[in-house]
Each structure stands twice: as C-alpha cells, then as structure tokens.
Amino acid sequence: MAAKIVVRNLNVNYQDGTESLRKISLEIEENAVTVLFGPAGGGKSTFLRTLNRLNDLGDLETQSGQVIFNGVNILESGIDVIELRRKIGMVFSRPVPLPLSIYQNISYPLEVAGIRNKARLDEAVEKALRQAVLWDEVYDRLNDPAHALSGGQQQRLCIARVLALQPEVILLDEPTSALDPISTAKIEELLCEISREITVIIAPHNTQQAARIGDYAAFFLQGELIEYGVGKEIFTRPKDKRTQDYIEGRFG
C-alpha cells in the first residue's frame, strides 16, 4: 500500500518545557486504520494534533521535522491551515455537536465552505449521515436539535460532520471512551467501512479496541515511537519487550 502521510524526525516541545514527541518517523498507509496505543502521556494526542496543525492553537514552543501530506510538508509556514483541516478532519473523545439542528450540524460547515444550493446541501447531508450509519435513525427528525440525540448518535453526527467535507484523512482521539458497548461497536464498524476510501488514524481508549480495528499499529511510550507495523503482528508477536509488557498489562 502507498503511504498517505510520511513523518520524518518529528519533535514537539511545549512552553512548560515538556518534550512531548522525540524523533518520530513513520509512514501512515493510505486507506487503512492505523491505531496509536500506549500509556497516557505517551504523545498520542500530540501526534494526532500535529497532523492537522491543531497544536498551533495551544502552548506549543518548538516543532521540528517533517510531516509530508500530498507531497507538502504541512509544518512549513504559509500552509493554508483551514484547508488542511478540511482534508485532515478531527473527531474528539467527547461529542460536541453544534447548538443547531441535526441537519444544520452537517450543512453549516458546508455553507461556510461556500455551498449554498439547497439540493446540494440536502444530498451532502444525507450522504454524510448514511456514511456515519445514522441516516436511518434520524431521517424523519432532521430539524430536531442535535443535543436531543444519544451520546453514541451525537458522536456519529460529529463524524458525519467531518465526512461531509470529504476529507482524505480522519483523526480520532478516543472517540468511544464515553460510549456504551453498542455505540462503540457501531463506530468501530463505521471506521472499518470508511477506511476503504479514507485514511483513518485513531488513538483508541484501550488496547483491546486497538487490536480489534487496527490494520497498522504504533506503540508510543514517553514521547517515543517504540514499535510500528502491521496490527496483527504487533499485537500477537511484538518485537520490543516494552510493547509486549504493555499489551499484557504489566505497566501503564
């Protein structure tokens, strides 16, 4: 498979002196699910936020290395960050629907992007909700407030909102950590389905989920990438003892 994102010698430091990532190099495969796993504080969230420049909004001190996406180093100055975030969308651990209707949660970002035609908006809203396996549950109440949905439905709505912008990559930071098992299963199935067309990079909330859905897996520990490879091999035959210890629950 071809690499969708190539990371070379990435280093990230925060203003409080914290060194979050050190010398990270890996290639994210296209149209696959890549899971990032490891103990809390290992750098997984920082890595995700680096991939669409969300770290710019925080207390970032220094950043070096390269993140190559579509042939361009996205860490360089002059990058259109808004356009980058349309191509590399982000879903957070807790669903944050806009204080609007279900329909408007999908249509509003599209309108901001310049789409005004009602027929096009209707088509895009339906397509995104179908992709997020939510259409059959909400098609007859699109004008209801989004906050009336269940937690699992709200998270799928947030995923649909990202999908509506037709991203090439979708990043997810513990997207099912606050959800029940049924909602979690639906989102896992959704991610495996959309990965046929969209590159998925996810930091799951536990190792079991990482093993279930990861085509590829990266183990992060104290800001370092310890091991990266095919998911089944990482979780059944890890090469590094630290990876094996973590998978078997001996630390973290």
Say how far apart CA 129 and CA 96 lie, in whole Å: 16
Closest to 150 in 3D by CA, of 109, 120, 180: 180
DSSP secondary structure string for all residues of 161-193:
HHHTT--SEEEEESTTTTS-HHHHHHHHHHHHH
pTM of the predicted model, to two decimals?
A: 0.93
Q: Could you state, in order of their start, the residue ranges of all structural domains in the chain?
A: 3-95+165-247
Percent of the chain residues topping a pLDDT of 90: 85
What is the domain class of 3-95+165-247 according to CATH?
A: alpha beta
- Poorest-confidence range of 38-52, 55-69, 105-119, 161-175? 55-69
**Of 156 and 18, which is predicted with more confidence?**
156
Q: What is the pLDDT of residue 17?
A: 67
Q: What is the pLDDT of residue 117?
A: 95
Q: What is the pLDDT of residue 2?
A: 80
Q: What is the pLDDT of residue 251?
A: 63
Which H or E element spans position 104?
helix 102-112
Reported as a pLDDT band with limits 50, 70 and 90, residue 16 is confident
Please list, in sequence order, all residues whose beta carbon lies within 8 angstroms of the beta carbon of residue 195, skipping any fewer than 6 positions away: 31, 32, 33, 215
Closest to 222 in 3D by CA, of 90, 42, 53: 42
| Mean per-residue pLDDT of the chain | 93
| Direct distance between the N- and C-terminal alpha carbons of the chain, in angstroms, rounded to an integer | 32
